[in-house]
Amino acid sequence: MAYTGNIGELVKKVEESRTSRVGVHYPRMTQEERRDVLEKFHPDYNTDGFRNLKVGVNKGARLPVEMADVFETWSRLRDRKPDLQADPVYDVDVLIIGGGGAGAAAALEAKAAGASVLIATKLRFGDANTMMAQGGIQAADKENDTPAIHYLDVVGGGRFENIPELARALVMDAPLVIKWLEDMGTMFDKKEDGTMITIHGGGTSRKRMHAARDYTGAEIMRTLRDEVLNKGITVVEFCAAVDLILDQNGRAAGAVLFNLETEQYLSARAKTVIMATGGSGRLHYRGFPTSNHYGATADGLVIGYRAGAKIIYADSIQYHPTGGAYPPQLLGLLVTEKTRGLGATPLNIKGEQFVYHLETRDVASSAILKECHERKLGVPLPTGISSVWLDSPIIELTHGEGTIERQLPAMMRQFQRFGVDIRTEPMLIYPTLHYQNGGLLIDENGLSTVENLYVAGEAAGGIHGTNRLMGNSLLDIIVFGRRAGRHAAFVSKEMSVPAGLNLDHLDAFHRELEATGAADGRVGPMLLPHYTHR
C-alpha cells in the first residue's frame, strides 16, 4: 500500500462510492458544455503561452512559445558548411529521417517498390514514441462499423478542423493496415474464436481499438523493426539530421547528419527525403511533464520549416488526461486510455465522478484541470500538486477478476514497482503533455509543400485537426508512412541524380533571423532535451 497518511484516508471515499458506480454511466457533456470547459481550462485556449513567429514561410503564425523558440534558431551548420560537391557518405533514392514506426513503415514500402533506402535515426532504431503508445490502434473492420463512421469520429474529435482528404486516407487504409501488420507478425488480442478483441476509446462511437494488451506500440514496433532488418534495409543509428540539403531547383535532396558518438557531420544525398522524426513533448510546453520519448524535441519541424515547408495547427497541443501524478516517480508517464476504455472513472477528492469517462482527451483534460484548479476538488499530493483519482479497481468489478492482469499488464507492473496495486487501489493522475496535433502540412501521399520532401507520423499536421483521438496515431504512422514510402520510391524512379546540391536556404533563413533579431543566440535543432547529461 503506497497510499499512506492523508492520501490513505482519502482513498476510503473512492472505495465507499465504488459499487454505486458500477454499470452507471455519468452523463456526457452537451456541445455547449464541452466548448465552455475547453475555452476556460484547455491550455491551448489560454493566450499567454503563445507568440507569433517572426521568420519563415508561416511568419506571423501563433506557436507555443517553446516551439517558436526552437524554430527561430541558427543552424548548427552556420559556420561549418560541409562540402556538398564532394562524394556524399550516403547516396540513396529515399532517405528516411527517423527510426520510429512511421520511418520503418515508409522504409518497407519504399524498398518493396524497388528504391534504395537509408534510415538515419537520432538514437537507436525503435527508440521512439511508437514504442511508448500503449492502448491500441483504431480500424473499422467489424460488422457494425465502417470507415465512414470512423471518419465521423475522427473529424468530430478533431473539432472539424481536419483536412478532409487526410482524415479520409486515414480511415480508408485502416483495415488494410491491421491486416498488413498481422501478416507481418503483430500479435493483436483475439477471442478464442480468432476474432479481434476491440474496445472503445474516448470519442469513439464503435469499439474499434485493436490492442496487444497495453503495449500495442511496442508490439507494432517489434514487428516493423524485425521486418526492416530482415529486408536488409540500412539503418544508421545515433545520426541526427541537422539540416536538409536542397537541389538547384529547391527540391529536397538529402540531409546533413550529425553523428552523436563521433561528433562528425556527414552528408547523405537522396532523390527524395521522408521526415519521420516524431513530436515535441520534450519541449515541455507550459512546464507540463510529458509522456513522450526522450528524443521528442521537434527536430523535423525545425529543419523542415527552415527549408520552406509550411506548418499547420502547430499551436494545437494534446494533453493526455491520464498522466501519472503519484508516486512521484510516475509523474507524467502515460496511464493508457485503455484504462478508461475498460471503464475506469475519474473521481475528485470526495470520490465523486465529475466527467464522463470516455470524453475526448481535450475535454477530459480540461475537466480535470477545472476540478483541480477552479473547483479545488483535486487530491492534494505531498509533492505540492493537485491530482484526481482514476478508479481502476472498478474494472475488475465490471469485467471480472483478472481483467487488469490480462488487459493492462504493463500498467499493473508500472504501478506495482512503487507499491500500488491497481487491481485494488485507484491511480492518481493529472494531464500530461502527450502529442502535437499539428505539424508540417502534407497531402494524401505525405508530400509536404517542399518538392520531394515527405512527412509521416507526428511531424505531419492536418490529419487530426486540433484534437487527435486515441489509437489514431499508431494508425497514422503506418498509413502515411506507407503512402510516403510508396510515393517517394515512385518519384525517385523517375528522377536522375539531383544536381546543384546546396544549403542556400540556411543563408536566407539566417538573414531573416538577423533582420528580426529573433534567434537570440539559440542553435537548433535541439536534438536532446536541455536537461540531458552530455
Enumerate binding residues for ligand MEZ (CB under 6 A).
133-136, 334, 336-338, 470-471, 473
Minimum Å gap between C-beta 215 and ligand MEZ is: 10
Minimum Å gap between C-beta 121 and ligand MEZ is: 21
Using alpha carbons only, give the angle 307, 119, 133 rounded to the nearest 5 degrees: 95
Residue number with CB closer to ligand MEZ (177 or 470): 470
What is the helix (H) or strand (E) element at residue 234, kind and residue range?
A: strand 234-236
Catalytic residue among 293, 320, 361, 505: 320
Minimum Å gap between C-beta 257 and ligand MEZ is: 29
Residue number with CB closer to ligand MEZ (93 or 359): 359
Q: Which residue has 513503415 as its cell numbers?
A: 105
Q: How far is CA 148 from the centre of its chain?
A: 24
Q: Terminal CA-to-CA distance of the chain, rounded, Å?
A: 37
Minimum Å gap between C-beta 229 and ligand MEZ is: 25
Name the DSSP class of 297: S
Minimum Å gap between C-beta 134 and ligand MEZ is: 4
Minimum Å gap between C-beta 276 and ligand MEZ is: 17
Minimum Å gap between C-beta 436 and ligand MEZ is: 12
C-beta of residue 300 within 8 angstroms of C-beta of residue 484: no
Over the Cα atoms of the chain, what is R_g? Answer: 23
Minimum Å gap between C-beta 390 and ligand MEZ is: 12
* Sequential DSSP letters for 149-207: HHHHHHHHHTTT-S-HHHHHHHHHHHHHHHHHHHHHT----B-TTSPBPEE--TT-SS-
Q: Can you say whether the dihedral through the CA atoms of 342, 356, 378, 362 is positive or negative?
A: positive
Is 483 considered catalytic here?
Answer: no
Q: Where are the beta strands (DSSP E) in 239-391?
A: 239-246, 252-259, 265-275, 311-312, 317-326, 345-347, 379-380, 386-391
- Using alpha carbons, select from 353, 92, 374 the residue that is nearest to residue 234: 92
Catalytic residue among 76, 293, 306, 340: 340
Would you mind telling me the total number of residues written for the chain in this entry?
Answer: 534
Give me the residue whose beta carbon is nearest to ligand MEZ: 135
Residue number with CB closer to ligand MEZ (133 or 422): 133
- Using alpha carbons, select from 246, 237, 256 the residue that is nearest to residue 75: 256
CB half-sphere exposure, 268, CA atoms < 13 A: 33
Minimum Å gap between C-beta 387 and ligand MEZ is: 17
Residue number with CB closer to ligand MEZ (101 or 351): 101
Any bridge partners for residue 317, and if so which? 436
Q: Which residue has 511568419 as its cell numbers?
A: 59
Under 8 Å CB-to-CB from 329, ≥6 apart: which residues?
Answer: 417, 418
3-state per-residue secondary structure call for 368-418: HHHHHHCCCCCEECCCCCEEEEEECHHHHHHHCCCHHHHHCHHHHHHHHCC
Is 150 considered catalytic here?
Answer: no
Residue 444's φ and ψ, nearest 5 degrees, are -60, -20
Residue number with CB closer to ligand MEZ (178 or 334): 334
Q: How far is CA 111 from the centre of its chain?
A: 25
- Using alpha carbons, select from 174, 149, 176, 152 the residue that is nearest to residue 164: 152
Q: Which residues belong to the active site?
A: 320, 340
